[in-house]
Structure formats: structure tokens, C-alpha cells
A and B are shown apart, each in its own frame.
Chain A
Amino acid sequence: MARYILRRLAFLLVSLALASVVLFVLLRLLPGDPANALTSVGAAPEQIAAARHSIGSDRPLPEQFAHWIGQLASGDLGTSFISSLPVGPEVGARLRVTVPLTLAAFVLAVLIAVPAGFLAAYKRRTWYGALLNGVSQLGIAVPVFWLGMVLIAVFALNGGWLPAGGFPQDGWAEPAEAMRSLVLPVATIALVMSASLIRYVRSATLDVLGSDYLRTARALGSSFGRAMWRHGLRNAAVPVISILGIELASTLLGAVVVESVYALPGLGSLLATGIAQHDYPVIQGVLFVSTLAVLLIGFAADILQRIIDPRLRGRLSGGAR
């Protein structure tokens, strides 16, 4: 297991290095010029050249890349072209919105989906089993922004119980206000995420319910609950963990839509602004940090699966069978 973790860690570092090269190069291939965001109509060619020079986008690409990697190595994400603010603290500030938002939504989604998915499988022949299944199908079809608008209309505009959007300017220094402003966004993401999770939990449970080992355990005298607990849960957990890892990672960046609907200053909105302005240091900073997060989540999911299922330990990655 220790050897596996080392190999998996090396894999992570190589992926990260490759990802940073790819993301640096791809960004530069995009049409457009960051100097455009700094100049105004009526700008003379010299003004545009001066803007390029001031942000260093007139230097050769390899030099720019070496500069960026050098900064990264010393833990510095660089400085925004447009605002001149250091990117690191900026990303940190946005993470203080996005991470609580994502984690809370994730936990809530799991709390909804695991019991509901199990029930939908175990009681699939009852009316409420079928209803759960139907509702989750419907939930998958609902666009996040639409659900957000509906929740705002009901709970903020009509009810007036919760803010329609925004985040306190002083952030978590006003904990009650900060939490209140996250209630609707968390609910929005959790509802949509749990809809698809329910389906995975349901199908994993169905696999287990139809398995030979469960029947054997029952034949040997285990109660249903005990057989499920000792044998079923572990087996069902392995594929679900893969999905959970992917869902968590995609929510981290996918929160951009929800952040826009609720006017939250999160990582996604920073990325969107950065892209619109060709603010390379900001885009690189956000994508580097989120790539790292996604790789770490995958790493944790793989390790967790191998702890649960010893049969996987020979394989480098993956786990859904």
C-alpha cells in the first residue's frame, strides 16, 4: 500500500507538471490581446505597445513561461495584468467562498442521495421507490440557473427570508450574514447534484442486491441488515466514491453558474472575469489551483477505494468496476 501511494503521488506530480505546460500554451494560442483590456478607444499604437510592455506580454513565450514556473516554485502565483493585485491572495479570498459552498453542497447532496438512492433500489417495486426514481430523473434535467432563479423568486423576492444574492463585503468576519447568503446557493447545487447521485447510488445498490455473495450471506444466516452492512455497503461504496470524486471536482469549477446567479465572489466568477480580460496570470492561477484540487481529490478517492477494496490494490488508478 505504501508503494502504491508513492507511485500514485509521482503520477500526480507528473500530471500537474503536464497540466501547467498545456494550460500555459493553450492560453497563448487564444486570439486576443490582454492589452485591449487596458486601452481605450482612441488609443494610439504607442499606447497599446506601452500597455503590452507594462504587463510583459511583449516578451518571448519561453521567457514568460520560465518566469511563471519560477514564481510557482517559490509559491507565488504572479500579479494580475489588469488590477495589479497579487493573484495568490485573490484566489485565496475566492476560495473562502467557493470551498465552503462546494463542501456544504456536497455533504448535503450525499446526505440526501445515499438514503434516497438506497431506498429507490431496495423499494423499487413500491410507488415511492418509483417516485424517487422519477424525481431524480427530472432533477437531472433541471438546469442549475433555472432552479436558482426559482429559489430566489420563492425565498428571497416573495418570502424575503433570505438574501437574493451577494456576499458580505467583510466575508466571514460577519459569519451569520455569510452563512445566510450561502443557504440558497448551497441548496441549489445540492438539489441538482443529489439528483444524479441518487441514480448512481441506486444502480450500485441494485448490483449488490442481486449479487451472489449477498444471497450466500443470507443463506448462512445473516440478517438482511447485517449482510448489507458487512458485505453490501463496502461493495456498493467503491463505484460511488469514484462518482463522488468527479462530482466534487466538477462542482468546484462548475459553481460558476451558481456564483453568477447569486452574485457570489467565488473562484468561478474570478475565472470568468479573467478570461474576458485575457488576464493570463489570473486564469493560470485559478486553473492551476483547481487542477491541483482535482488531482488531489482523485488521489484521495483512489486511496480510499483501495482501503475499502483490497482487490484493487494492484491497479494504478480508477476503481469503478
Chain B
Amino acid sequence: MNITKISLYSGAALLGLTLTACGGGAGGSGAAGGAYDKNATVNIGSLYEPQNLDNTAGGGQGVTEALNGNVYEGLFKLTDTGKVEKLLAKDYKVSPDGLTYTFTLRDGVTFHSGKKLTSEDVKYSLEKVLAKDSQSARKSNLEVVKSIATPDARTVRVRLSKKSISFVYNLSYVWIVNSQAKNLKTSEDGTGPYRLRKWTRGSALALDRFAGYWGGAARNKQAVFHYYKDATALNNALLTGAVDVVTSEQSPDALDQFKNNQNYKVSDGNSTTKLLLAFNDKAKPFTDVKVRQAVSSAIDDKKLLESVWGGYGKLIGSMVPPTDPWYEDLTKVNAYDPARAKRLLAEAGYKKGFTFTLETPNYDPHPIAATFIKSQLAKVGVTVKINTITPDQWYTKVYQNRDFTATLQEHVNDRDLVWYGDPNFYWGYDNKQVTQWVDQAEQASTTAEQTRLLKKVNRKTAEDAASDWLYLYPQIVVANSKLSGYPVNGLNSQFYAYDIKKG
């Protein structure tokens, strides 16, 4: 869970609170080499079943995992290291003013239905994301698009209303769909290396290698995503060979049985999922920077991470994970220091402490983290009342109505620091300077300039303790050792299956 992944709904269906940002990740774990079965069926175990098959209609995290890059492709794709590469776009040019993008499409691409890819399909797909009823998490990022023209069948020209350095990156989230396709919530028509064979709701989604694929064929004949509601049932499936790989292990206690077993391989990849203690910066007493800094200093993040994930995961001092270009190690800012916390509270006029309610989503790890925070803050005289809520309540009460003082939440995506530039976001951080930096960064002409500005945002929000960033989750993939070539980072929940080799 997390806000992108917000697996709101216990395990399976996520409220697709997909926070925007970035990601990427194909590729795979090294291993491999050697002989493999070109006609193997790879069984993939996951807790995230799609809600429907359309990512502009609330398909949730599961639809990204199963279909992104496997069934649907964008003009660009994100690699496992978070880099943007050309995919259906053979080439592109940007006008000197940075407002016109001209894309040339790759030749010989056909949809699974047999129709050839044309510029009309690209236009249609972009418009689908921008449509009034679109539920795409990318919609707000792409609203800079002013007009889309198709001078010929292989050329698309997009004009923007203002400069957007993330435009190409954001396009990697836009699936190119056949403009004549129907019923995209229950069927598909993409250009990817697999076509959908069958989706049995509540059970599995099977993909077959697409013979007419324009690029290199998938290294397995069939990829089947098996869906579980229960992490233990999923681990049992891996232990009995019913699945070959688990996309994202959410049950740290279960890792020992795989770690010390040579039949399995545990990979600890780069995650972008952060656990936040998000203050409502517009609600007393968290309107006061000193109070936020005090609370941040009073919580021993290292101990919390240890108790939740054992040896896995990383400490972070801000919203930025090490894989974002504007990362800086800020763990020293507002670091654990209970004496400082007490001093700051006294300075802020809360010598005797105060009481606040912590809205706590009812699924792991939030309840554990809440109890831990409660005991830590008690030591500096702050009383925490834990209010347990469902993901749906979180969405309504906290996210929409801002009716909260502080909350816990996972934020999944990379590059989501920019939310601190939006004073209307749920946590209510409102700093004109930061908003301006974020704005300028998006309109920057070079990535160096963008990075420089976002580093300033990073440092400022960290110093202001805009939120308390408790830790960065690990991204753990457990696989049968016969398997190689699977993605280990799964950034933004993508899971490219086409390079997986089964020995």
C-alpha cells in the first residue's frame, strides 16, 4: 500500500491512489545465462489483482503490474534504473522554445488485433488520458498538452501550453491503444510482446506470447499472474511451486524460509515507497515548524525500521529516494534526538506537551508504526491517540476533506517530491518559495537545472519537517532459482515479464 499503490483494500484491490511520479524498471536480475525453455510458462504470484484492465478507468496498481510493457507500450519506457528510453517512438524533436514535440513512430508495429499502428492511435490514446472522465493518475501532469496534430500516419506533433521537462517521462505512462478498440476494461488491444489470453477475476490473468510483435520475442511462451488475497497463501504457493516468483514480498517474517534455501533467490532491489508520518501543516499545532521538527526528532526511525523489516529497507531524511536524480542524504536533518525535541517543544510553547490524533490506515505496517510512534512521543510528553481507519475512510476523511491532524501513509512513486509544491495537496504544506522552485524546475531547459532546483526543494522541505519520512521500504522479489531475467526494482509496480527465462 501506498499512495500509489495504496493497496487500500487489504491486499488485493487497491484504491488506486496512484500518486504520480515516475518509475521504471525493466530489466532483470542477472543470473541467467545457460539454457532455458523458450516455451515455458512463467507463473507470477501477486497480491494486486487489477480492478479492471484500463489504466484510465481506475484499473489500480495491478493493471500497471500486469499490463505495462507486457501488453501495452508507450512512446517511451522506463528502464529498471528509472531511465527513459524510446519505445514506440523511433525519434523525437523538441522546438527551441520547448513547446512543440514532434514524434516519429516506429515502423512495422501492429496491434494484437492486427491493425497497424498510426499517429491517429497515439492522438487517441493521449486524448483518452486527458478526457473529462479519465481516472488516469497522469492526467494532471499531462494537462500542459494544448493540441495534438497528426501531419501524416507516422508523425505526431504535440504543442504544450508551457514548458514541461517531465513531458517525455510522463509519456512513458501513456499506453498506446488501438483507437478502434472497444471494451478496454475487460479486454485489450495493445502492441506489447504479449496478448491477453484470459482474465479470470479473483484468480488469474494469463498472457500469451504475441507472434506478430515488432521487437524481440518474449523469452517465455506464457506469463500467468496468479492473484492472492493473503500473503501467507502466496508464500505457500511459492513453496509448493504453484508460482515461480512473487512480485513484491510484503511479509518480512516469511523471508527466512526462502533466504536459507538454495531453491530460492531473494533480491533486495531499489524501492521508491516511503512511509510517511504526514502532518496536516494547516492544523494546530503542526502549523508550527518547531513542533514538526520536534516530533521528527523524537522518533527513532532506525529502531522502527528494524522492528518492521529486520535488516531490509533504508533510512531517508526526506521525500527523495536514492534513485531520484535530486537525491541528497538528509538523514542528519532533524535526526533522532529526544533532548532536542523537548527543547523545541518548550520553545514552541508546549513545555507540557500536547495531544493529537493519528489517523492510521488499518493495514500493515501502519498500525505497528502508530504504536511505535505513540510510545516514542510519550517520552517527550506528547500523547498520541490512534484512530484506525479503512483505506476508503482515509481517502474521504484525510485526502479529500483534510479532516485530520496527522496521518500515516505510504507514498509509492518516485519523483513525488513535487507534491510539496502544491499547497492544495492533502498535507497542506504551503511555502511560496518551494512552489516557485517546483514550478521553475518543471519549466527548466536542462535536467541539470531541474535537478539543481529540486535539490533546493528537497533540502527546504526536509529542514521544515514538512512531513516526517520514517523510512524507505525494501523492494523484495523472491523467485525460484530456476528463474532469471525478472525485474528486481519493480519501480512504480511495473513487472516486465518478457525477459524472464525459466531453466
Contact = CB atoms under 8 A, between A and B. Distances in A.
A26 interface: no
B185 interface: yes
A85 B186 contact: yes
A50 B17 CA distance: 16
B137 interface: yes
A38 B229 contact: no
Interface string B1-18: 001101011101101111
A265 B185 contact: no
A166 B135 contact: no
A83 interface: yes
A269 B227 CA distance: 12
A43 B242 CA distance: 38
Contacts of B200: 93, 169, 171, 265
A157 B240 contact: yes
B392 interface: yes
Given A39-B135, A164-B239, A273-B9, A260 B233 contact: yes
Interface string A260-277: 111101100110110011
A277 B13 contact: yes
> Which of A166, A171, A266 has the most chain B CB atoms closer than 10 A to its own CB?
A166
B237 A166 contact: yes
B58 interface: yes
B135 A273 contact: no
A54 interface: yes
Interface in A220-277: 260-263, 265-266, 269-270, 272-273, 276-277
Contacts of B226: 166
B13 A82 contact: yes
Interface residues of A, number: 51
Given A160-B240, A169-B198, A40 B186 contact: no
Contacts of A156: 236, 240
A2 interface: no
A41 B240 contact: no
B81 to A, nearest CB: 25
Given A83-B186, A157-B236, A41 B392 contact: no
B262 interface: no
A38 B63 CA distance: 12
B396 A36 contact: yes
Contact of A41 (B4, B136, B139): B4
B132 A40 contact: no
B84 interface: no
Nearest to A55: B58
Interface string A45-75: 0111011011000000000000000000000
A76 interface: no
Contact of A84 (B185, B232, B242, B393): B185
A312 to B, nearest CB: 42
Interface stretch (B154-162, B202-210, B343-351): B202-210
Nearest to A169: B204
Given A41-B3, A169-B224, A260 B137 contact: no
Interface centre among A41, A44, A90 (most CB of B within 10 A): A41
A32 B139 contact: no
Contacts of B256: none
B118 interface: no
Interface string B244-265: 0000000000000000000000
A163 B240 contact: yes
A110 interface: no
A265 B227 CA distance: 10
Contacts of B396: 31-33, 36
Contacts of B19: 40-42
A47 B399 contact: no
A272 B203 contact: no
B12 to A, nearest CB: 6
A94 interface: yes
A276 B201 CA distance: 15
B240 A47 contact: no
A40 B16 contact: yes
Contact of B132 (A50, A85, A265): A50
Interface string A287-318: 00000000000000000000000000000000
Contact of B229 (A50, A82, A272): A272
A32 B393 contact: yes
Contacts of B224: 169
Given A47-B135, A53-B133, A165-B236, A37 B201 contact: no
A46 B392 CA distance: 19
A152 interface: yes
A278 interface: yes
Given A42-B20, A90-B201, A156-B236, A263 B229 contact: yes
A167 interface: yes
Interface of B: 3-4, 6, 8-10, 12-13, 15-20, 51-52, 57-58, 60, 132-137, 139-140, 183, 185-186, 198, 200-204, 206, 224, 226, 228-230, 232-234, 236-237, 239-240, 242, 390-393, 395-396, 399-400, 419
Interface of A: 31-33, 36-44, 46-48, 50-51, 53-54, 82-85, 90, 93-94, 149, 152, 156-157, 160, 163-167, 169, 171, 260-263, 265-266, 269-270, 272-273, 276-278
Q: Which 8 A-B pairs have the closest CB atoms?
A: A38-B58, A265-B202, A276-B9, A41-B17, A164-B236, A40-B18, A84-B185, A40-B137
Given A38-B51, A165-B228, A261-B230, 10 more contacts: A31-B393, A38-B135, A39-B58, A41-B4, A44-B139, A166-B226, A166-B237, A167-B203, A277-B15, A278-B392
16 contacts: A31-B392, A31-B393, A33-B396, A37-B15, A39-B15, A39-B17, A41-B17, A51-B135, A82-B52, A83-B201, A84-B183, A163-B240, A164-B239, A165-B233, A273-B9, A276-B9
